């Protein structure tokens, strides 16, 4: 999420789904919200019922498009061009929100004289190193003028690709701006750079790239302009249709620039709603499961000497101004949570015990290493790379190269049966991997929190014990840890000390009681309540030794008196007996602050200081949200202010101020060192301070905007026999393919293709193609066809539909096809896996792949070698015994056979 | 279709005919019935607003789960996203998908590519979705046709099939003008939506309405629903959807009102609904006459043959 982080300061959705009902216009792009998030889609529908236009820009006409007022078909992967066209319209027609932009963004900041834009260097920013294909922001002089004028003599070390992509959060150091031009006329001020940068994105040029009509760009732009400003706000909704691109981070940056120009950030009905891919993906980046982060977006220490000690690490990663100035408090409290009493001032709070990163260990790169035979073992928790991972063939080659694999899942997924049922694989006798399948509890059989797409923590209670040997993932990890600690007990070896010192004490203090009043039969289950209390943070009363839960992260200290497992979650468990994630209290307040707990500090709309003007008054009565109450001398409103609650709007930092004191009373983006929204990002994105259109890695056309640089110059492709890539347009693979989701299935189908009720709704893998394309290939609706990419081939059914339209791209007829991503070779319903076609490439910021656009061709006819057979028969009916002691007439209506004697 | 048009020309009435004989039979039979008849409640039903349906099929799954209905096969149809095909004894909710796109290019592929497009609307590209269900007619032909009394109106004025009384004669299947009912191949009996009678008895909303994320399926007292729906039609028309109208909200002179009615934005035929549903009983008088006449004719023929043989 550095796209959002670089623009606003936090890599998380800036608003909440319910607030979409307050929007006056919603642009849904890179998201198939009605299908992938049907429950959340009720809020855009409420806005529509009030008369707000809904706009869907997408390669396909999906169920989302069907419910929107405007649908624009664009070629997959050209989102920056389309959004750039809108930004150009906003700037050229002077429709931007002047007061907002002047006060709350860095539009007036003057940039270094030596900085060069893509417009000057024909598609590259200054600071590019053609040898390593990376940018050095320092050499390129991306920083504000006056803050970094003396280039260091020694060659500065560029950040390692991938590492700390998420960690940046846009916090990267960049001194506060010293030179500004409030008239916005200075040729090197951000506003003028922006104007020049987007000048070439005319409706005609955009139309040539995207394949939509020039009018479509103007129409969407005008709808957004008309519905933004003092009285009105527009929202943007995106999902993995934006992130899963080689330019994903920059697409989101483009949306950030647009929302800042229109003055929609931090305001009700505005913002950017990032829809996450599944239930707790937000949680998994917060706490996190990412290799390059510690909980709460603290960068994981690396082998960099500047990370050797805690002091050096804090100096390098903390910031002197803005909220990140509390960095040391967060880290020390985390160490206390990790190591408890063992973390002392003398041993640097155990900071040296943390492992050090020496490279990119993201999922994709690990796969690549695995396929080269460099890994021996692998744990999978609810992950199904054999069908859900990019370049499935390579994923399975990797799994076959392992010595052992542990799969923790509710069903026997593709990853659990790859040794036996992979139609492309060798016979089982030739697979050396030993596979352990640990059956896990389903979500109703365990307790815990989910952090949803809008940063909302919701606790779910355990309804019943899991059956048989099924255990929760937490049980597996907790008991694995316990046994490992037993193995090393008593060791004095230095390398064993972190394992022996770590806090690993989450046993239930009292027997676990189920909702029906009976005792749980599961032994040594960890008490999730205790885990959540540690995540929230506590202080130890020095006199009594009693634990006291912390009310929030402002109580964290760097003297070892507080412990906190994830500082942004602090406040979720403020006192014993009050788990705010488990609260479901509805009130008159439309923000519903007592339903769950949103990080940080239960703020539902981030940067909401911007909902008031610089003087603290609401921009308009209609869009009132947080404002300064002069009598109470506080920020008030229905939501918790995302600002120091008693800092007056006229506060000005004294010279040399540090920490939050350096943020003025009219600077809403408190995570930023300068408190401003970044139209231009001097740091935070590794592929440029401004977004520029590059083609997808596999594209049927060249880059019309920057012909010398077809694709994102920093992207990493891992070409090889297992990962062939059609880098230049080839007549062999002329079709643009994009993957998409259906409501009826979930991800790789690991949870849905084992359920007959869902399988009957979407029983087969298919490809959506337009009739013209189908006619060229002599394909009729419903036929079996083979879809081929440089990586592999799958056989699927053809859905010939006018919902897909052929495009004219710069005079060339281009067809697009859509492939749902839900099938594989395991389960009741089996079929070709779209990931057997997708390439394994990685962007430079977060090592995200480009699963949303790749090159294929479609041929009539089956591909017999690719026909998997179901690994599970459909459910036999009835699936349950009749309910005991109950007459037939009171049995569930449909259980026909119970009295039929059949 | 032509037959339907033909029949629709006949004089019709929304209420089934009821003879003096039928009344007399009821008078004699009813005192022998066992059990208490539940007290009559306010009539309930569904208001299905197709304009907010997102085609998620949550209603289909919720219905099957609550009622423990079997999955009836993984059949890829190629008909848009509709793989359920039809309402049946196993599928009591069915989401229909209607793709309306003007074809820009004529695609003739030896006649193989046939999209069978319903006439595209003037409004532009549309993908209509509609969750279909039993209409719970106020005067239901199936209830009228049922010879065993298995089909009845419950206290919520919903049409309900008592599976344990049903003898599988299939008269209701022929009688329903909407094609709602089929027989289950599990037990040979007729099944259809019960409007979650069991849930209603416990004060719960039917499973489909509960699961619907966009309030496309609304459940409640039918009078309230009708008012809500009329207001919504007014709003939609104001916004330029001139074709927005309610289907089955009130009785016409030919067919009774439906306790499960629809808000549509195109002709009913577009959604596979009959524009003028036909009551089988409009044919009954003629059928009786024809039956008696052909019976007499047969007797006469037999008599003639016998007499002729005697000679």
Residue B144 belongs to a domain with what CATH number?
3.30.70.20
- Torsion angle in degrees (nearest 10) through CA of A625, A629, A633, A638: -30
**Beta-ladder partners of B263:** B49, B246
**CA-to-CA separations, A727 to A204, A697, A702, B270, in angstroms, rounded:** 26, 6, 10, 46
pLDDT value for B119: 46
Query: Would you mind telling me the total number of residues written for chain A in this entry?
Result: 902
Q: How far apart are the first and last CA of chain B?
A: 51
Q: Is there a cis peptide before residue A600, judged by omega within 30 degrees of 0? A: yes
- Give the pLDDT of residue A569: 96
Q: What are the angstrom distances between the C-alpha of B176 and each of A790, B19, B180, B274?
A: 54, 22, 7, 11
DSSP string spanning A571-628?
A: TSS-BTTB-GGG-B---SSTT-TTBSEETTTT-SSTTGGGGB-TTS-BS-STT--SEE
What integer pLDDT is reported at residue A279 of this predicted model? 83
Q: In chain A, what residues touch B197 (CB-CB under 8 Å)?
A: 893
Whole-number Å distance between alpha carbons of B141 and B278: 9
Q: Which helix (H) or strand (E) holds A426?
A: none
Run of H or E including B191: strand B190-191
Compute CA A702 distance to the chain's CA centroid, rounded to the nearest angstrom: 29
A35 close to B (CB below 8 A): yes
Contact A757 B65 (CB under 8 A): yes
A878 touches chain B (CB under 8 A): yes
- Out of A772, A896, A899, the one facing B105 most closely (by C-beta) is A772
Segment-wise mean pLDDT, segments of 10 residues, chain A, 902 residues:
87 94 98 96 94 96 96 96 98 97 96 94 95 93 77 43 46 64 95 97 96 96 97 97 96 98 97 90 88 92 93 89 88 96 95 94 90 95 94 96 97 96 94 96 95 94 95 97 96 95 95 93 95 94 84 93 95 95 95 94 95 97 97 96 95 89 93 92 92 96 94 94 92 96 95 95 97 95 96 96 92 95 96 96 91 96 84 84 76 60 38
| Residue at B66 is within a domain | yes
Give the mean model confidence (pLDDT) for residues B266-270.
93
A584 CB-side CA count, 13 A = 5
Residue B293 lies in a domain: no
Instruction: Summarize pLDDT for B142-159 with one digit per residue, the tens.
Output: 999 999 999 999 999 999
Range of the domain at B243: 44-98+124-281
Choose among A220, A268, A292, A232: nearest CA to A11: A292
Rg (C-alpha) for chain A, rounded Å, is: 27
Q: Which two tokens stand for residue B76?
A: 């890829």
Half-sphere exposure (Cβ direction) of A855: Cα atoms closer than 13 Å: 20
Question: What does the pLDDT read at residue A278?
Answer: 82
CB contact under 8 Å between A760 and B74, yes or no, is yes
Distance in angstroms (rounded) separating the CA atoms of residues A64 and A27: 11
Q: What is the DSSP letter of A827?
A: S
Q: Which residues contact A582 (CB under 8 A, 6 or more apart)?
A: A458, A459, A461
Asked if B80 lies within 8 A of A801 by C-beta distance, the reply is: yes
Higher pLDDT, B282 or A850: A850
Q: What is the pLDDT of residues B1-26, one digit of tens each?
A: 455 566 667 676 777 777 788 888 88
* CA-wise closest residue to A666 among A680, A652, A681: A652
What ipTM does this complex have?
A: 0.91
Residue A31: which H helix or E strand, with range? none
Give the pLDDT band (50/70/90) at residue B112: very low
Give the model confidence (pLDDT) of A519-564 as tens digits. Answer: 999 999 999 999 999 999 999 877 777 889 999 999 999 999 999 9
How much of chain B, in percent, has pLDDT values that exceed 90?
A: 67
Residues of chain B found within 8 Å of residue A880, distances taken between Cβ atoms: 68
Question: Does B28 fall in a domain?
Answer: no
Of A38, A890, A896, the CB nearest to B54: A38
- pTM for the structure as a whole: 0.92
Contact between A36 and A297 under an 8 Å Cβ cutoff? The reply is no
- Cα atoms found within 13 Å of the Cα of residue B281, Cβ hemisphere only: 19
- Find chain B residues with C-beta within 8 A of A897's C-beta: 186-187
Token pair 């808000």 is found at: B263
pLDDT band at B133 (very low <50, low <70, confident <90, very high): very high
DSSP-based three-state secondary structure for A488: helix
- Candidates A764, A892, A900; nearest CB to B186: A900
- Asked if A293 contacts A300 with a C-beta cutoff of 8 angstroms, the reply is yes
The answer to whether the CB atoms of A71 and B128 lie below 8 A apart is no
pLDDT at position B117 is 42
- Cα distances (angstroms) measured from residue A429 to each of A376, A400, A865: 19, 12, 19
Picking from A8, A17, A24, A21, the residue whose alpha carbon sits closest to that of residue A224 is A24
Q: Are A339 and A351 in contact (CB under 8 A)?
A: no
pLDDT, residue A364, reads 86
Residue B130 lies in a domain: yes
Helix A248-261 and helix A79-92: axis angle, to 10°?
A: 20
3-state SS class at A881: coil
Using CB atoms, pick whichever of B67, B76, B113 lies closest to residue A894: B67
Nearest to B182 by CA among B198, B194, B168: B168
Nearest to B135, CA basis, from B96, B95, B176, B166: B176
Question: What is the reported pLDDT for B115?
Answer: 44
Contact B213 A775 (CB under 8 A): no
Q: Is residue B3 part of a domain?
A: no
**β-pair type (A448-451, A456-460):** antiparallel
CB contact under 8 A, A781 and B105: no
Cross-chain CB nearest to B56 (options A743, A764, A775): A743
Residue B103 lies in a domain: no
How many domains would you assign to chain B?
1
Q: Is residue B15 part of a domain?
A: no
Query: Does the beta carbon of A427 lie under 8 angstroms from any beta carbon of chain B?
Result: no
Domain membership of residue B302 (yes or no) is: no
pLDDT digits (tens, 9 = 90+) for B66-108: 999 999 889 999 999 999 999 999 999 999 999 998 765 444 4
Identify the closest residue of chain A to B76 by CA–CA distance. A763
Q: How many CB pairs under 8 A join A and B?
A: 185
A694 and A711 Cβ atoms separated by less than 8 Å: yes
């Amino acid at each position: 999420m550095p796209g959002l982080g670089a623009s606003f300061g936090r890599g998380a959705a800036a608003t909440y789904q319910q607030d979409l009902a307050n929007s006056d216009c919603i642009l849904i792009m890179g998201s198939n919200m009605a299908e992938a998030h049907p429950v959340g889609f009720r809020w855009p529908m409420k806005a529509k019922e009030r008369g707000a236009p809904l706009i869907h820009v997408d390669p396909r006409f999906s169920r989302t498009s069907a419910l929107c007022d405007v649908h624009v078909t664009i070629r997959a992967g050209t989102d920056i061009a389309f959004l750039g066209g809108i930004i150009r319209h906003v700037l050229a027609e002077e429709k931007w929100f002047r007061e907002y932009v002047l006060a709350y963004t860095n539009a007036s900041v003057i940039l270094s004289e030596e900085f060069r834009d893509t417009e000057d260097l024909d598609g590259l920013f200054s600071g590019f190193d053609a040898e390593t294909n990376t940018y050095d922001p320092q050499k390129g002089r991306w920083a504000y003028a006056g803050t970094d004028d003396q280039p260091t003599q020694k060659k500065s070390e560029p950040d390692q690709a991938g590492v700390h992509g998420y960690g940046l959060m846009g916090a990267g150091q960049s001194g506060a701006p010293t030179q500004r031009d409030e008239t916005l006329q200075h040729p090197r001020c951000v506003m003028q750079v922006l104007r020049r940068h987007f000048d070439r994105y005319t409706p005609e040029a955009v139309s040539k790239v995207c394949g939509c009509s020039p009018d479509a760009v103007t129409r969407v732009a005008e709808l957004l302009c008309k519905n933004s400003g003092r009285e009105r706000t527009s929202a943007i909704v995106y999902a993995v249709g934006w992130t899963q691109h080689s330019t994903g981070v920059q697409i989101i940056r483009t949306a950030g620039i647009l929302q800042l120009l229109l003055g929609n950030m931090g305001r009700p009905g505005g913002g950017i709603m990032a829809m996450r891919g599944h239930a707790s993906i937000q949680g998994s980046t917060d706490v996190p499961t990412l290799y390059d982060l510690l909980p709460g977006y603290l960068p994981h220490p690396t082998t960099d000497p500047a990370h050797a000690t805690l002091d050096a690490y804090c100096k390098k990663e903390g910031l002197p101004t803005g909220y990140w100035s509390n960095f040391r408090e967060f880290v020390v409290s985390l160490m206390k949570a990790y190591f408890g009493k063992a973390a002392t001032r003398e041993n640097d709070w155990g900071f040296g015990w943390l492992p050090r990163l020496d490279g990119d260990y993201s999922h994709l790169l690990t796969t690549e290493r695995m396929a080269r035979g460099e890994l021996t073992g692998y744990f999978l928790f609810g992950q199904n790379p054999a069908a859900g991972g990019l370049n499935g063939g390579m994923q399975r080659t990797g799994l076959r190269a392992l010595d052992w694999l542990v799969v923790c899942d509710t069903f026997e997924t593709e990853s659990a049966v790859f040794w036996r049922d992979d139609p492309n694989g060798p016979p089982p006798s030739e697979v050396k991997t030993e596979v352990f399948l640990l059956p896990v509890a389903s979500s109703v059989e365990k307790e815990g929190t989910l952090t949803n797409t809008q940063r909302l923590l919701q606790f779910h209670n355990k309804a019943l014990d899991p059956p048989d040997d099924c255990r929760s993932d937490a049980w597996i990890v907790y008991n694995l840890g316990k046994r490992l600690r037993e193995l090393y007990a008593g060791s004095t070896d230095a390398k064993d000390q972190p394992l022996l010192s770590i806090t690993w004490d989450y046993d239930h203090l009292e027997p676990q009681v189920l909702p029906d009043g009976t005792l749980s039969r599961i032994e040594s289950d960890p008490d999730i309540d205790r885990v959540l209390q540690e995540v929230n943070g506590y202080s130890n009363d020095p006199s009594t030794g009693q634990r006291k839960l912390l009310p929030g992260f402002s109580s964290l200290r760097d003297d070892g008196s507080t412990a906190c497992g994830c500082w942004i979650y602090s406040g979720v468990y403020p006192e014993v007996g009050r788990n705010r994630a488990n609260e479901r209290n509805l009130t008159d307040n439309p923000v519903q602050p007592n339903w769950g707990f949103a990080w940080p500090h239960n703020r539902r709309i981030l940067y909401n200081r911007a909902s008031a003007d610089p003087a603290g008054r609401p921009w308009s009565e209609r869009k009132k949200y947080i404002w300064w109450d002069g009598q109470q001398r506080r920020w008030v409103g229905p939501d918790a202010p995302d600002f120091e609650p008693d800092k007056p709007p006229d506060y000005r930092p004294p010279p040399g101020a540090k920490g939050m004191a350096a943020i003025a009373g009219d600077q809403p983006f408190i995570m930023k060192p300068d408190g401003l929204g970044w139209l231009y990002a001097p740091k935070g994105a590794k592929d440029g301070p401004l977004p520029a259109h590059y083609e997808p890695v596999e594209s049927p056309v060249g880059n019309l905007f920057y012909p010398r640089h077809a694709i994102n110059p920093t992207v990493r492709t891992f070409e090889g026999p297992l990962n062939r890539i059609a880098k230049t347009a080839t007549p062999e693979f002329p079709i643009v393919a994009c993957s998409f989701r259906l409501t009826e299935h979930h991800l790789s189908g690991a949870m849905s293709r084992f359920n007959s009720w869902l399988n009957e709704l979407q029983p087969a893998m298919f490809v959506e193609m337009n009739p013209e394309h189908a006619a060229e290939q002599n394909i009729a609706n419903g036929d079996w066809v083979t879809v081929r990419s440089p990586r592999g081939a799958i056989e699927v059914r053809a859905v010939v539909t006018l919902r897909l339209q052929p495009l004219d791209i710069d005079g060339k007829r281009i067809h697009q096809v859509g492939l749902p991503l839900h099938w594989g070779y395991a389960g009741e319903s089996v079929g070709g896996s779209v990931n057997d076609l997708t390439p394994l490439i990685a962007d430079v910021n977060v090592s995200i792949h480009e699963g949303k656009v790749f090159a294929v061709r479609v041929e009539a006819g089956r591909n017999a070698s690719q026909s998997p057979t179901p690994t599970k028969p459909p459910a036999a009916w009835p699936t349950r015994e009749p309910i005991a002691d109950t007459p037939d007439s009171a049995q569930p209506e449909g259980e026909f056979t119970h009295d039929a004697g059949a | 279709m032509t037959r339907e048009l033909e029949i629709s020309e006949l004089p019709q009435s929304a209420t089934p005919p009821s003879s003096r004989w039928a009344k007399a039979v009821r008078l004699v039979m009813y005192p022998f019935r066992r059990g208490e008849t539940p007290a009559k409640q306010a009539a309930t039903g569904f208001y299905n607003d197709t304009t907010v349906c997102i085609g998620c099929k949550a209603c289909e799954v919720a219905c099957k789960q609550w009622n423990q209905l079997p999955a009836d096969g993984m059949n890829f149809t190629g008909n848009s996203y509709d793989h359920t095909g039809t309402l049946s004894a196993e599928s009591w909710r069915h989401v229909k998908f209607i793709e309306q796109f003007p074809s820009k290019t004529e695609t003739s592929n030896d006649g193989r590519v046939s999209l069978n497009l319903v006439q595209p609307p003037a409004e532009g590209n549309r993908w209509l979705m509609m969750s279909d269900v039993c209409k719970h007619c106020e005067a239901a032909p199936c209830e009228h046709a049922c010879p065993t009394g298995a089909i009845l109106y419950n206290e919520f004025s919903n049409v309900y099939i008592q599976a344990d009384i049903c003898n599988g004669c299939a008269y209701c299947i022929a009688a329903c003008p909407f094609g709602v009912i089929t027989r289950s191949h599990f037990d040979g009996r007729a099944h259809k939506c019960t409007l979650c009678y069991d849930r209603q008895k416990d004060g719960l909303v039917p499973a489909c309405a509960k699961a619907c994320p966009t309030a496309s399926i609304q459940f409640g007292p039918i009078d309230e629903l009708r008012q809500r729906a009329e207001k919504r039609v007014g709003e939609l028309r104001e916004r330029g959807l001139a074709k927005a109208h309610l289907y089955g909200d009130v009785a016409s002179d030919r067919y009774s009102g439906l306790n499960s009615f629809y808000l549509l934005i195109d002709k009913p035929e577009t959604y596979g609904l009959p524009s003028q549903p036909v009551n089988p009983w409009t044919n009954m008088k003629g059928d009786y006459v024809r039956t008696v006449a052909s019976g007499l004719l047969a007797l006469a023929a037999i008599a003639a043959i016998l007499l002729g043989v005697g000679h």
